[in-house]
Amino acid sequence: MADDGPRRGTGIGEWRRSGLGMVREGVRPLLVLASLAAMADAVAAPVGPDPVVGSIAMAVAAVVRAWTYAAAVVVLLVLRGRRAGSALSGLARSARRLPLLVGWLAVGVVATVAGLALLVLPGIWLLVVLTATLVAVVTIEGGSPLRCLRLVRGRWWATALRVLLAVGPVALWWAATGAAVAALPVHPVAAAVLTAVLAVPGYAVVAAFLAAAYVELRRREDPGYGPVPLPSVAPGAALPRPAGTPALDRTGPSPVLLGVGGGVLLAAALVAVLVVTTWPGPERAPAPPLAAVGPERPPATAAEVLSATYARSRLDRTGIYRADPGDLWEDVGYVGSRGEFALDGDSTSVHARLTDTGLSVRETIVVDDRRWIRSRYPEPVGHWVPCSIGDGSVYADACVYTVYQQDLADPVAVLMRAGRSATVVGSGAEVVDDVPATWFDVRLAADRAAADEPDPAWRTRFAESLLGAAPVRVWTGPDGRLLQLAFAAPSDNRVRYTGWGLTGPVLPPR
């Protein structure tokens, strides 16, 4: 006979075996429900920088996660071992208490955040209690957080250990896979989908082991609590109704219809959010080439044609760039790097790893115009060294590579800041990685830009800028995002931009 849950007074070993047993028995419905939760997260992740739409998407995804977790609890504890124990049955049965669950979850989140913000320890205490029991208490018993407190009374440390063992490894797995996917040069939507797929097993494992912890707590007050195998009956015969249970009321609304109806409504909400946030709108014709420059019309500036791209990059705030190795002049290789960047106004923070083996500099970091390098030569070898450009120190020349990486990470800010000194000398349209793009050839008069610039830090950037060495080509996508940059010949020395809005802040070295 299958294990029906941890027994009274048992320890971690029995709880672990019970959780594994729940995973094995309910693996199919658990994976289906986990996939629904992951799909909701994948839809909500790439919705873009609009705070209102993003908040709606995250709220809908949170409701879907709560519903699928409640359905998993029903499958594991109510329908366990039965032919009706499918994901659809779990969703239908749990839908009746979904509004109550969402309400109590909202109250629990507010209380936990308040506890963490005010005194920390009460927040941690409440977080453990609610994580281990709230979904099961509301879904199975129709109870409230007060019932959760009674269940965990006298067992907080044991419950905290079980929560840590259930959630901790899965959280590490999610963090590792999320970081690995973020490092891939793929479209943000594809990255969100891949992250969600890798997260599916974690959802299933957490649901099973927290359900086992709930059963363990229930058996402290009711040793007979737990899923009971159904009696054997002849094929086609009706299952006997357990003693003391009321007859089924067939006049009320069907829980299956309620569950399916709720699922349709939530699915419609998710689809609406996805359409609103990702539909590019009516197809627009590519930007026409700029008119020939005549005596009555001055050349267009980069600030005119790239203003939307600049605004979009400041909404996304973070991203990833990858620069192909190449030479620009006198066989000096400066391209050949990969880095993450964070944008705040005209400030560009960047952490780059240089791939040109002929350079002594291996890594650079710039945060709030503070600069560090790591190379083969400084003492102690391999350590981060603060540096400054033009201060006459031993690292001043190598520090110029921090400016180069800022140019590669955020060329639009440089061209916008240059004003009349960055002029557009050509434009056109082409497809870049299956995305229709508009390109602009821009010539930067770096010396004039430096002379016009009142900010000393920006004068230094213009004076050392890569973008002033030769005309550059900038490609932008239909959503306004920067797609690609090229130096000199458009087919050489390309820099590609991905992961918009998906990376974290750039921090100083430790």
* Separation between Cα atoms, residue 175 and residue 42, nearest integer Å: 15
Q: Which CATH architecture has domain 302-498?
A: Clam (2.50)
Lookup: tokens for 151: 């269940």
Q: Residues with Cβ < 8 Å from 111, sequence gap 6 or more?
A: 126, 145
**Residue 229 pLDDT more than 90?**
no
Which is nearest to 313 in space by CA: 337, 289, 347?
A: 347
* Separation between Cα atoms, residue 442 and residue 470, nearest integer Å: 9
Which is nearest to 506 in space by CA: 350, 361, 301?
A: 350
Of the pLDDT bands very low, low, confident and very high (cuts 50, 70, 90), residue 22 is confident
* Separation between Cα atoms, residue 297 and residue 292, nearest integer Å: 9
Of the pLDDT bands very low, low, confident and very high (cuts 50, 70, 90), residue 466 is confident
Amino acid at 479: D
Domains of the chain by residue range: 12-227+254-278, 302-498
As beta bridge partners, residue 440 has 427, 474
Q: Given this model, what pLDDT does residue 273 score?
A: 47
Question: If DSSP codes are grouped into helix, strand and coil, which group holds residue 499?
Answer: coil
Of the pLDDT bands very low, low, confident and very high (cuts 50, 70, 90), residue 78 is confident
Average pLDDT of the residues in 119-131: 83
Average pLDDT of the residues in 179-187: 74
* Separation between Cα atoms, residue 92 and residue 69, nearest integer Å: 13
Lookup: tokens for 156: 């907080």
Average pLDDT of the residues of the chain: 76
Average pLDDT of the residues in 159-179: 87
Q: Lay out the sheet containing 347-354: strands in order across.
A: 385-387, 370-375, 361-367, 347-354, 332-344, 318-329, 494-498, 482-487, 472-476, 435-444, 422-432
Torsional sign, CA 130, 135, 140, 142: positive
* Separation between Cα atoms, residue 496 and residue 158, nearest integer Å: 50
Question: If DSSP codes are grouped into helix, strand and coil, which group holds residue 2?
Answer: coil
Q: Given this model, what pLDDT does residue 410 score?
A: 93
Q: Given this model, what pLDDT does residue 202 score?
A: 85
Which is nearest to 308 in space by CA: 422, 495, 474?
A: 474
**Residue 121 pLDDT more than 50?**
yes
**Residue 14 pLDDT more than 50?**
yes
Give the model confidence (pLDDT) of 273-322 as tens digits.
444 444 444 554 454 554 444 444 556 899 999 999 999 999 999 999 99
Q: Residues with Cβ < 8 Å from 314, sequence gap 6 or more?
A: 343, 344, 345
CB 499, CB 319: distance < 8 Å: yes
**∠374-377-383 over CA atoms, to 5°?**
35
- The highest-confidence range among 36-40, 83-87, 154-158, 316-320, by mean pLDDT, is 316-320
**Residue 491 pLDDT more than 50?**
yes
